[in-house]
Amino acid sequence: MKALNSQLKIINKRIELVVCGGSALAAIGLVNRTTNDVDVLGIVERSDSKLIINRASFPKWFKSSIKKVARNFNLPPNWINAGPTSLVDFGLPRGLEERLIGKRFGDYLTVYYISRIDQIFLKLYASVDRGGYHIDDLMKLKPTNEEIEAAARWSMTHDVSEGYRELLKSLLRRLGFNDVAKRI
């Protein structure tokens, strides 16, 4: 990230990113694991003193900086990606903006990592469809019944199908959240 800040300094461009996933979990000390990429949820825009998260659409100058860092450190070309940014379109968990944990990597790059509760929301949603390390990450966060229920209800606003609801309930039962599965 410091190298990316250096690239942005050269072209005198600033950017603020909202990051979720494994790199965010590691960066704020919630889960100790390695990851191959940085998942950008959105790009920050400021309106007065309010922070607004927009869908991540990387400008050409940012893509170029990403490529240079990838080349210099032998990273995959998509080491920073906007994979989860579609979540912005459907609505992020209420209050996510106020819970962000910011870190400046210099004058040109600021990264906001999502909080533990917001990770629970996003990890539960990802766990239903993709399972694997998403489930592992979710369980390492030690969610309470209340947190899982709130996350489940939020996730059902992103996929309103009965099929999704049944998959969600099945996953909740497998993870030991039987009471939550009954309530949703």
Q: Do 54 and 28 share a structural domain?
A: yes
Confidence (pLDDT) at 20: 96
Q: Do 163 and 105 share a structural domain?
A: no
d(CA 104, CA 27): 12
Mean pLDDT of 108-120: 98
pLDDT tens by residue, 34-74:
888 999 999 999 888 788 999 999 999 999 999 999 999 99
Q: Do 60 and 128 share a structural domain?
A: no
Percent of the chain with pLDDT over 70: 100
Q: Do 123 and 77 share a structural domain?
A: no
Q: Do 88 and 31 share a structural domain?
A: yes
Q: Do 121 and 109 share a structural domain?
A: no
pLDDT tens by residue, 132-155:
899 999 999 999 999 999 999 999
Q: Do 127 and 77 share a structural domain?
A: no
Confidence (pLDDT) at 99: 96
Q: Do 157 and 76 share a structural domain?
A: no
Please say if the pLDDT value at position 167 is more than 80.
yes
Q: Do 125 and 105 share a structural domain?
A: no
Please say if the pLDDT value at position 181 is more than 90.
yes
Confidence (pLDDT) at 49: 76
Structural domains of the chain, count:
2
Q: Do 102 and 50 share a structural domain?
A: yes
Domain boundary among 79, 94, 114: 114
Confidence (pLDDT) at 47: 82
Q: How would DSSP label each residue in the chain?
A: -HHHHHHHHHHT--EEEEEEHHHHHHHTTS-----S-EEEEEEEEEETTEEEEEE----HHHHHHHHHHHHHHT--TTSEE-GGGHHHHH-PPTTHHHH-EEEESSSSEEEEEPPHHHHHHHHHHHHHHH-THHHHHHHHT---HHHHHHHHHHHHHH---HHHHHHHHHHHHHTT-HHHHHH-
Confidence (pLDDT) at 48: 80
Q: Do 164 and 139 share a structural domain?
A: yes
Range of the domain at 160: 117-183
